[in-house]
């Protein structure tokens, strides 16, 4: 039989009057548990509160798709609590060691509220702590899920230029060998100053010439003309060179001077050297472009996370939006057209920049998902009195009228299992309110708009 002193050692019951403790014990059932016994099963009706007096228990189950495990020690109150909306137990709890618990039925909570108001108040506080912890776990999971999506996209975005740079450097080795061999061949020949000058002039003009983008048909025609010229001078195996020079927009008539001033074998060596130089210039441009893209992405990541910057600062809203669009480029380029309408004057908001980026990420990501990855994303900024308004809109099917009132509720989601936690818009609203702003939504088929209003930095207000 449980003693009053045992309950008084439970923090929730500390300092309560003896008559209230006695009443609680009289309304409870004492259970003796053996190690391994299950006293709560996931899915069972949530109809009991438990007070652990002796032993150790362990609860295990899934919350928001994540497996959670926590221990219950003597003095802990678990199970359903007064005013809780829990209908079923979400976890299964077992005894790790032999122990004793008091089992208080939820059907007697109305009497508990009347008889033990102080205990009721403490249990409500305990329930609030439990809700906050559950929400924290969900929000952490949501952030990790979002980070996982962004990481996967960024990995893909970084892999493309990295692969291009690696491929170009690999090709450079072969080209450098060709240019070395051709240079040795030319070095063995007794060339006049005029002949050397002609080779160098052509090489310089081709390397420095702007590469004009052309359609495939034009390039194919140019390739045939160059190949025909080479064959007319006995060079029947330089078709790959003809293709390379055609892509560089080299005109056949520019090559005629080589055959006019050089004998065939010397002209061939000069052509190989010139073509190799042209290819080296092209490969170097590819490497420069690829590494610049990597540098831009790394810079965008640093801007997005506000790495090495003060957490609270005046943030340029347009720059913040553009950084987010860069981070989400892997999703945008699949079929989303971005329409920008930015104010001409920079609009600054004193804010935690990384949190604002989280707002834009959630809103833009939701818009992309709503359009199934194909459609028009409209991003607009403008000033309204002492506020900046950021409008993110899409031309998707819209939000159903019966869904719209619930979209900012925690854990509400219209996505399938495993696709969303229902905390995206709840997080957005919390961050916006933290920055003393507000968010509104209007929606109809073909036009859904989220408008975020934030107070301008004092210098601009």
Q: What is residue 411's predicted lDDT score, i.e. its pLDDT?
A: 52
C-alpha–C-alpha distance, residues 306 and 313, integer Å: 10
First-residue to last-residue Cα distance in the chain: 69
Series of mean pLDDT values for 10-residue runs along the chain (461 residues): 85 91 93 90 91 91 70 89 86 90 93 92 84 65 62 73 87 88 85 82 76 71 83 80 78 79 84 86 86 79 63 84 86 87 86 80 89 91 91 91 77 49 69 89 92 81 47
Q: What is residue 309's predicted lDDT score, i.e. its pLDDT?
A: 58
C-alpha–C-alpha distance, residues 51 and 60, integer Å: 18
Q: What is residue 149's predicted lDDT score, i.e. its pLDDT?
A: 64
Q: What is residue 310's predicted lDDT score, i.e. its pLDDT?
A: 59
C-alpha–C-alpha distance, residues 280 and 168, integer Å: 9
C-alpha–C-alpha distance, residues 210 and 362, integer Å: 42
Q: What is residue 267's predicted lDDT score, i.e. its pLDDT?
A: 83
HSE, side-chain direction, 13 A CA sphere, residue 250: 29
């Amino acid at each position: 039989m449980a003693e009053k002193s045992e309950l008084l050692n439970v923090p929730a019951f500390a300092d309560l009057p003896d008559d209230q403790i006695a009443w609680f014990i009289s309304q409870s059932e004492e259970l003796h548990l053996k190690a391994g016994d299950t006293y709560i099963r996931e899915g069972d009706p949530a109809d009991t509160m438990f007070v652990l007096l002796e032993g150790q228990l362990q609860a295990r189950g899934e919350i928001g798709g994540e497996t959670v495990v926590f221990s219950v020690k003597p003095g802990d109150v678990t199970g359903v609590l007064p005013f809780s909306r829990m209908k079923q137990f979400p976890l299964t709890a077992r005894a790790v060691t032999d122990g004793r618990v008091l089992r208080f039925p939820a059907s007697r909570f109305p009497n508990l509220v009347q008889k033990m108001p102080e205990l009721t108040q403490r249990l409500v506080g305990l329930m609030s702590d439990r809700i906050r912890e559950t929400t924290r776990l969900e929000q952490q999971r949501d952030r990790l899920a979002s980070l996982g999506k962004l990481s996967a996209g960024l990995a893909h975005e970084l892999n493309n230029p990295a692969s291009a740079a690696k491929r170009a450097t690999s090709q450079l080795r072969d080209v450098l060998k060709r240019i070395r061999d051709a240079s040795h061949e030319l070095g063995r020949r007794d060339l006049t100053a005029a002949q050397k000058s002609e080779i160098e002039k052509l090489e310089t003009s081709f390397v420095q010439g702007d590469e004009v983008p052309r359609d495939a048909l034009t390039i194919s025609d140019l390739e045939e003309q160059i190949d025909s010229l080479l064959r007319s001078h006995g060079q029947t195996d330089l078709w790959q060179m003809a293709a390379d020079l055609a892509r560089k927009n080299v005109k056949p008539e520019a090559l005629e001077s080589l055959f006019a001033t050089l004998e065939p074998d010397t002209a061939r060596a000069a052509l190989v050297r010139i073509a190799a130089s042209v290819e080296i210039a092209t490969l170097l441009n590819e490497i420069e472009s690829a590494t610049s893209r990597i540098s831009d992405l790394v810079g965008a990541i640093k801007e997005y996370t506000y790495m090495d910057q003060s957490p609270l600062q005046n943030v340029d809203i347009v720059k913040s939006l553009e950084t987010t669009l860069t981070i989400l480029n892997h999703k945008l380029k699949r079929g989303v057209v971005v329409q920008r309408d930015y104010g001409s004057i920079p609009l600054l908001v004193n804010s935690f920049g990384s949190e604002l980026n989280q707002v834009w990420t959630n809103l833009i990501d939701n818009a992309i998902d709503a359009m199934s990855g194909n459609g028009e994303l409209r991003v607009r900024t403008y000033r309204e009195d002492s506020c900046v308004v950021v409008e993110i809109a899409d031309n998707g099917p819209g939000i159903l009228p019966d869904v719209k009132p619930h979209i900012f509720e925690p854990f509400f989601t219209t996505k399938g299992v495993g696709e969303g936690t229902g905390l995206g818009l709840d997080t957005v609203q919390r961050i916006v309110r933290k920055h003393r702003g507000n968010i509104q939504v209007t929606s109809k088929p073909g036009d859904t708009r989220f408008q975020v209003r934030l107070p301008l930095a004092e210098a601009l207000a």
